[in-house]
Amino acid sequence: MSGLTTTQAIAGFLTPAAIFAILLALHVMLPAYRVEGYAHRNLGASLPQYRLNGLAVFLCALLVWSLGLTTAPLDWLWVVKWHAIAGATALSAVLTVWIVLRAPADGRGNLIQWLEGRSYNVQFGGHVDVKMFMYIFGGVYLALNAVSSAAYHFGQYGAASNVGLFLHSAMWVWFIADYFVFERVQLFTFDIFEERLGFKLIAGCIVVYPLLYPVALWGTAGLPAPDIDPSLNVVWLGGSAAVFLIGWMISRGANFQKYIYKRAPEQTFLGLIEPVTVTDGKRNLLCSGFWGASRHMNYFGEILEALGMAIALGHFTNFWAWIYFIYLTVFFISRERIDERRCAAKYGELWTRYREKVPYRLVPGVY
Ligand code: NDP
């Protein structure tokens, strides 16, 4: 059905494990900087330590892949995508068994312990933090999938290729490069300080992030360029790039503003936005800049990025092009409500006051 030989199918299935091993070796070997993380519930007062070099691993992997140094053809990752999804799911299952069984069982239900995990933080020899490495794996593999899909498309259509598909792939590479440039900010996000390491997070990083997020490319890299009047290229390609960049500025801006505030509460963000807060005398919540426009501008920004990516492909009526955008919108609407409950429990009356001051959840003036 897939048109692969048995050997190719097996190689495709093992591809995620091979990438995992190569990236792990790069992560351990390449120079890194050491930083403190954010308060972690299972570590009490002490701050966890991290060794970060995601950007170096990312650039190295991109170079190795783009120069064809692995001996695999450039379009390999697109060709074996379905087998790779199966292989990555198996890899997640193996990693989950290992990670979950390392920690003692607790009083919660068995299924919950497997799905959500037992430990909040797993580190090896001060060298590898499992959560942060899994994000390296997911991000790098996603970018490689984008490059490989573009190579596959070009191989099929050459000069008649869909420029929008290359733009879409470039947006993914930008999205991942941005993540690695600001890798330290990730230490201040929900997954790192709040989630346990179970199948949900592991499969999220090993399967969903690298192999399901680029679903639009799986569905459209094999298609010819859309029939769009070239005089509309500026509107189509320029418009999608503008939506994506505005989304990126909102998302990155909001995350960075909060990060700067948590590290230096008195500092004016980018020399422009004063850190205005609501306070109960002990704790503070930012309510200026992005955090005064809606309670989760960062989520809204990422939804806009996904919208720009969907438009870039130019296959406006093709469902594949929209799956990621629809998924992310639903995901963030639900995640915002989860974070809202967490913050309401943590901040009590202060959170109610913040809500009164900043009434919108995601989209200022709308929702
Ligand atoms: P946030 O970075 O928004 O973190 C939420 C936490 O920030 C809250 O629990 C609270 O924690 C603190 N906080 C909330 N409001 C304020 C405020 N006004 N002032 C000060 N602190 C506040 O959410 P996530 O960790 O979920 O997301 C981080 C980034 O990762 C986002 O950009 C998101 O879009 C992205 N992301 C992307 C995903 C994807 O699949 N593409 C998936 C998940 C996240 P506390 O008070 O304890 O500090």
Q: How far is the CA of 175 from the centre of ligand 1 (A)?
A: 17
Angstrom distance (rounded) from CA 120 to CA 40? 8
161 close to 62: Cβ distance less than 8 angstroms = no
- Say how many Å lie between the CA of residue 186 and the centre of ligand 1: 10
Which atom of ligand 1 lies closest to the CA of 358? 18
Q: Rounded to the nearest whole angstrom, what is the distance from the C-alpha of residue 131 to the centroid of ligand 1? A: 16
CB atoms within 10 A of CB 363: 15
Token couple for 240: 């999608």
Instruction: Tell me how far the alpha carbon of residue 190 lies from the centroid of ligand 1, in angstroms.
Output: 6
Helix axes 6-29, 81-102, angle to 10 degrees: 50
Where does 27-153 show beta strands of DSSP type E?
33-36, 49-52, 123-124, 128-129
Instruction: Please name the residue whose Cα sits nearest to atom 31 of ligand 1.
Output: 298
Q: 279 has which bridge partners? A: 284
Element (H, E) at 243: helix 239-263
What beta strand segments (E) does 40-110 contain? Answer: 49-52
229 CA from centroid of ligand 1 (Å): 41
Closest-CA residue, ligand 1 atom 35, reads 299
The ligand 1 atom at the shortest distance from the C-alpha of residue 296 is 3
Which ligand 1 atom sits nearest the alpha carbon of residue 254?
A: 32
Q: For the chain, state the CA radius of gyration.
A: 21
- Close Cβ partners of 33 (under 8 Å, ≥ 6 residues apart): 51, 52, 53
pLDDT in tens, the chain (367 residues): 568 999 999 999 999 999 999 999 999 999 999 988 776 665 566 778 899 999 999 999 999 998 988 889 999 999 999 999 999 999 999 999 999 999 999 989 999 999 999 988 888 887 899 999 999 999 999 999 999 999 999 999 999 999 999 999 999 999 999 999 999 988 888 788 778 999 999 999 999 999 999 999 999 999 999 999 989 999 999 999 999 999 999 999 999 999 899 888 888 888 888 888 999 888 999 999 999 999 999 999 999 999 999 999 999 999 999 999 999 999 999 999 999 999 999 999 999 999 999 999 999 998 9
Give the residue ranges of DSSP H helices in 103-238.
110-116, 130-157, 163-181, 183-186, 190-193, 199-203, 215-220, 233
Distance 72 CA to ligand 1 centre (A): 38
Q: Is there a contact between 308 and 241 (Cβ–Cβ < 8 Å)?
A: yes
Phi and psi at 121, nearest 5°, equal -145, 125
Residue 366: what residue type? Answer: V
Ligand 1 pocket test: which of 302, 330, 362 has the largest number of ligand atoms within 8 Å of its C-beta? 302
Amino acid letter for position 294: S
pTM of the model: 0.91
Single-letter residue type at 7: T
Closest CA to 313 of 89, 149, 73, 100: 149
Compute the distance from residue 189 Cα to the ligand 1 centre, in Å. 5
Instruction: Using the mean position of ligand 1's atoms as its centre, give its distance from the Cα of residue 188 in Å.
Output: 8
Euclidean distance between CA atoms 103 and 133, whole angstroms: 19
Q: Which amino acid is located at 27 in the chain?
A: H
Q: Which residue puts its alpha carbon closest to atom 30 of ligand 1?
A: 189
Q: Which residues line ligand 1 (CB under 6 A)?
A: 189-190, 251, 255, 258, 285-286, 291, 296, 298-299, 302, 335, 339, 342-343
